[in-house]
Amino acid sequence: MDPIDTIADPPIILGASLATAAVQLARRDVEGAVRFAVAAPLACGIAKLLKYAVDEHRPRLVGKQLEQSFPSGHSAAISAYAVSIVLATRRWWTLPLAAAAIGVVNVSRVWRREHWAKDVIAGDVIGLVGAAVAAGAVYALHHHRAKTVTPTRSEPMVGATTGSPSRF
């Protein structure tokens, strides 16, 4: 088996995603934990359900699971995880690394005749949907937490005057 296929295997990516969520939770980063606990598991779940719903044969003629070609679970998993890393870190240099990882997995799956090009593209879209839903969950959590936090005595309320002249 190809090492790229092994590393990008959906159970491996799911494990990495949940481990990342656990690390984020240990660091008291609830939003980061939610992001990684939602994106890849959701994308992998959608991809697996579609594999049973869509009767698409793989490009190769022999082997196991010939009928479960559409969509690529490897592509869905790596896309969700890589995009989640980009969104979590907000560092520009993670974007080309994520794009390269996604591209390498996609090319590998098509090159090895495990999937058609449409399968990996659909997997990428599913991964992006998983990352977008996770980002939406983080956004909702952030705004819910912002509404429930009340200012302490040391923090002035928004709009409160502090007695110092305004510079604006």
For 9-52, what is each residue's pLDDT tens digit? 889 999 999 999 999 999 998 888 999 999 999 999 999 999 88
- What would the mean pLDDT of 77-99 be, rounded to a whole number? 95
Task: Look at the alpha carbons of 144, 147, 150, 155 in this order and tell me if their dihedral is positive or negative.
Answer: positive
The pLDDT-based confidence of 66 (bands split at 50, 70, 90) is low
Q: Which two tokens stand for residue 25?
A: 């939770």
d(CA 24, CA 20): 6
Query: Is the pTM value of this prediction over 0.75?
Result: yes
